[in-house]
Amino acid sequence: MATMEFTEWIRGRTDEQLRALVSARPELITPVPAHLEGLAARAASPSAIGRALDRLDRFTLAVVETLAVCDEPLSSDALSDLIGAATLPATGPTTVTSTDPPTDPPTGPMTGPAGDPGPALSAALDRLRDLALVYGPDDALDLGPGVRKVLDDPAGLGPRAVDAFRHHAPEQLDEMADDVAPGTPGTGRERLAAMLAAPAALVESVSPEARAALDQLVWGPPTGRVPNARREVRVDSARSPIEELLARGLLAATGEESVTLPREVALHLRGGRVHRGLLAVPPPLQGATRDRGLADRTAAGQAFMFVRSVEELCERWSVEPPGVLRTGGLGVRDLKRAAGELDLPEWVAALVIEVAHAAGLIAAGGGVDGEWLPTSGYDLWRVRSTADRWVVLAATWLQTDRLPGLVGERDERDRPLNALHTDLRRSSAPGVRSATLGVLAAAPGLAPDRDAVLERLAWEQPRRRGPLREQLTEFALREAEQVGVTGLGALSAHGRALIEGGEAAKVLAPLLPEPVDHVLLQADLTAVAPGPLTSELNRWMTLTADVESKGGATVYRFSEGSIRRALDAGHGGEELVAMLGRHSATPVPQTLSYLVTDVARRHGRIRVGTAGAYVRCDDPALLDQITADRRSAALRLRRLAPTVIASRSSRAALVDSLRAMGYAPVAESLDGDVIISQLENRRTEGTAPARAVASPNGVDPEVAAAAVRALRAGDAAHLTRREPVEAPGGHVPRGPATATISALQEAIKQGVRVWIGYLDSQGNATSRILEPARMEGGYLTAYDETRAAVHRFALHRITGVAGL
């Protein structure tokens, strides 16, 4: 009966209310049910109810638990009395600016006046109705079908006495009833349940030690463990506090070593209250106040550095890509190397790598063993503005189900979790990030303490708690700071725009540092970048010089090796000097000009090919110098001509050895051309594995509206469904095939019903009354009134047609 009432209540909701329902509970329209009765049935399924309950805050969940404790529907006034008895009075604003640790919630019986739950209760009931967890008028509020079954021990209360003693033997129940309620009529279970409905006398009759044991179970959990719980004991023979409680039915044995406190006893000990210390509003956030402008600028600086770190990582991996482990992921040594090159802690480098991978900027590709390479999507991302690039990375971090914070930890098999490994997926990660940032958004300009954030999340999502969730929250807080969503612990303006679906790029762009297109060259072979360089100049400086230090200004150092690296990449000496002069705010120092000229003059005078390898040089005296050098003995050189020396060493080994001896050779191809050692940036055609993540904002409004329209149309058809009619008596119609087809065509044209004879799969002739719709491909599609359904009929099986 309740199910039918619930279905009719769903059917009576307005379209706007139904859109709110399917938007808040998207699982109800995945896929869209055929009608509203199907929607009601799906809303009452345990899995759907569990998901809906997981979305409730502590106060709203307490309203559900209060209704679950009561077997009959409650009026809003009675519900308000029950909730109000447990609600703590408001203590102040929801956010405070204090650095003191948050206070613990009360653990003892509530003292002091109760709070007014009126506004909060009305809002909670409206939300519960929107979620279809509560239905009915204000004078008869009830839970939706199945909600009570999903709630385990609501409000920390155990089962009712009738259910708690259902596994006890009738004889044992009779003995217990005779002890506590002698002379009362009914079965032992009924008499015991009636006595426990008002257990004041039983509770007062036990010893203080037994009462103390009850007090430990009053506020939950209602179960405990005792040895030999099913022992048979009478009131007169009870020797211990537990036996006193078992003999009086104040504790019920649910197993050999487990007992539970009946619900009626717990409610009596709670003084009629269902909850204790209930907060109608979120607990106050505590932390340090931050200047919003300073926090926004700090976050913008972090956002810029994060974008640059991703860009630098992709550029380095395009030249020297790390390999893919046999089990997938990135090796520990490769992670350490990347952290050193990016000048970041390993956990931050893992975050950079994971976000770049999740955004589709790097993926596994290359040869048989596989390498981590940038994708073609990186080239498209690189040409966008810095603010737009950050939005891509930040949105990816917010929605990805991967957990970079787990890198370096070990799994259940004690195996290390590497970056980019498939085991880093956690489906709850995006939800925790969104919830954590939502807490920060509730306190503009405040950097909440970790414990305050955890306490607020415990209130907002009480059914989603546990050590892993706390760990995910800590990861979210520290990663948000590195990505640039928060600054100094407070949510930034562009971070707020990101989570609210605003134009975060427009908010961030004015805060970003303006890239500079020049450096300051100094006489000690260093260059100082007075700010973040443009992307092209940054790549060129990284190629030509080595980064010596980072900070407010980046210091680059030129050396013979770095100049040779640029020359190996195909740049000429004059080109390098011209480039330095063009991008330097100071004149090119003579020492740097001499260094470039000297390295360029010696660069390429010696050429190495394959013999094993050979050395050729237009200056025979230089080859004489090489062959005379004792350090060249290991190369096994042989003079083939005045300008050519052969060696048994490989070309790469010969180049390295000659450079170690102080020469500056270059590699040569079989055609005699200089081989540029820095190859073109490599890309992989593959993309990062995509993984659909449910949007934290629910269903798109247009999708919700379309689903409601389909549900209304399906429900209308469902309610107007005709019942099957009996087939006519007598012989089935028979006639020639041509006449049958003509008669069916005419019936379709006129829109009238016909009586046909039809052979089933066993060859038996049956009578059908049809409303023909169309005829094509040897089949007739029609509504079969004898079956109350639409069917397709093979024309060759129709024996004949008659009118009605």
The residues pairing with 767 across neighbouring beta strands, listed in sequence order, are 757
pLDDT at 109: 34
Q: For the chain, what are the domain ranges?
A: 2-154, 161-269, 287-511, 520-587, 607-667, 737-803
Q: Length of the chain in residues, anyone? A: 804
pLDDT, residue 634, reads 83
Mean pLDDT of each 10-residue bin along the chain, 804 residues long: 81 92 90 87 91 92 91 88 78 41 35 61 92 91 91 88 85 84 82 87 89 88 88 85 88 88 90 86 90 92 91 86 86 92 91 94 75 88 90 94 89 83 88 92 90 91 83 93 93 92 90 83 86 78 81 82 82 84 86 86 76 84 87 84 85 85 82 63 53 51 87 78 67 87 88 87 85 86 79 89 84
Instruction: Compute the distance between CA of residue 358 and CA of residue 352 in angstroms, rounded to an integer.
Output: 10
pLDDT at 124: 92
Whether 521 contacts 538, CB under 8 Å: no
Number of CB atoms found within 10 A of residue 600's CB: 21
DSSP string computed for 325-363: PTTSSB-HHHHHHHHHHHT--HHHHHHHHHHHHHTTSEE
The CA distance from 741 to 735, in Å, is 10
Query: What DSSP state is assigned to residue 74?
Result: B
- Angstrom CA distances, 58 to 138, 155, 279, stand at 22, 11, 8
Q: What is the pLDDT of residue 721?
A: 60
Count CA within 13 A, CB hemisphere, residue 666. Answer: 23
Residue 623 confidence (pLDDT): 86
Q: Which fold has domain 737-803?
A: SH3 type barrels. (2.30.30)
How does pLDDT run across 29-58, given as a tens digit for each residue? Answer: 888 888 888 899 999 999 999 999 999 999
Closest C-alpha to 323, from 373, 281, 379, 272: 373
List the beta bridge partners of residue 780.
775, 793
The pLDDT value recorded for residue 722 is 58
pLDDT given for residue 106 in this prediction: 34
CB 529 within 8 A of CB 516: yes
Could you give the residue ranges of the DSSP H alpha helices within 96-234? 118-130, 147-150, 161-164, 170-180, 188-196, 200-204, 208-215
Beta bridge mates, 24: none
Residue 30 CB partners (closer than 8 Å, separation 6+): none
Which pLDDT score is estimated for 131? 93
How far, in Å, CA of 562 to CA of 580, rounded? 14
